Amino acid sequence: MKPNNKFELSVEDIDIIETALRAKAGRRGMKILTGEGDVNKYKKEAEEITNLLGRIHDQKVWFRSRDKVYVGG
């Protein structure tokens, strides 16, 4: 068997995944701050989650309306 390399996820699916990953990263951060459990393991997991969220962010296509005047913030 080989892994499936093609995924069909909706924008809503990706949003759910991102929300769950941010929540997990937050829980890992709290464990790191409190010194609960294996801190080095939690730091590694937090870094992996952050990197994954970055890769998801980099794959998004950002756009703005061409019909309206764009005012940057």
Number of structural domains the chain divides into: 1
Helix axes 11-34, 39-59, angle to 10 degrees: 150
Residue 34 lies in a domain: yes
Residue 4 lies in a domain: no
Residue 45 lies in a domain: yes
What digits encode the pLDDT tens for the residues 17-48?
A: 999 999 999 999 999 999 999 999 999 999 99
Burial of 14 (C-beta count, 10 Å sphere; 0-12/13-18/19+):
middle
Residue 64 lies in a domain: no
Residue 65 lies in a domain: no
What digits encode the pLDDT tens for the residues 53-70?
A: 999 999 888 777 778 777
Domain that holds residue 22: 11-59
- pTM for the whole thing? 0.74
